[in-house]
Amino acid sequence: MANISDVIESFLLQLMGEEAKVNINRNELADYFSVAPSQINYVLTTRFNTDKGYIVESKRGGGGFVTVIRVRATPYDLLNKLINLPLNTGITQAKAYDVVDNLVLNKILTEREGLILKNSLSDKALVAPSLAKDGLRAGILRQVARGILAIENA
């Protein structure tokens, strides 16, 4: 059985369909699902972030209205974002998985390649102290992005 966050995410994706953006009322959505508005905020923050290809805009005093915008970046933009990660910046497993999902969504990677990359970026695969894993993941993603761009430019 799916958890409530999965259900809310699925609902929002269906509501969005092929549209580039959708406006929702956070409080009405919370009432519809019988959850606190903070649960809607949680879903918007974790499931509709820039790593997944979305921007969420909310206006103060706007009556709880939120706009979810699907950003279709070019493959070049996505790969350059990875290449330009600062060397001291790490990336968590969850964020790395979001990035890989976005690369698959934008057809830069196949589903199979995405699954292989996710397994390679997992905490289980990275045999290193916990504090070093995020840095290793960032380095791997940078090199993968460089490799893809090299293939594309060849």
For 2-35, how does the pLDDT look when each residue is reduced to its tens digit (9 = 90+)? 799 999 999 999 998 888 889 888 889 999 999 9
pLDDT at 51: 73
pLDDT at 35: 93
pLDDT tens for 49-94 read 877 778 888 876 666 788 898 887 777 777 888 888 776 778 889 8
**Phi–psi pair at 23, nearest 5 degrees:** -105, 135
Instruction: Give me 79's structure tokens.
Output: 């790969």
What is the pLDDT averaged over residues 100-107? Answer: 86
pLDDT at 17: 85
Identify the CATH class of 4-70: alpha beta
Residue partners of 60: CB distance under 8 A and separation at least 6: none
Given the candidates 3.30.1920, 1.10.1200, 3.40.630, 1.10.10, the CATH classification of the domain at 75-153 is 1.10.1200
Cα gap 146→144, rounded to integer Å: 5
**Phi–psi pair at 2, nearest 5 degrees:** -75, 145
- Sign of the CA dihedral running 109, 111, 117, 118: positive
For the chain, domain boundaries = 4-70, 75-153
pLDDT at 152: 79
Band (pLDDT 50/70/90 cuts) for residue 131 is confident
Which stretches of 17-129 are DSSP H helices?
26-33, 37-47, 75-83, 93-105, 111-121
What is the pLDDT averaged over residues 95-112? Answer: 89
pLDDT at 101: 87
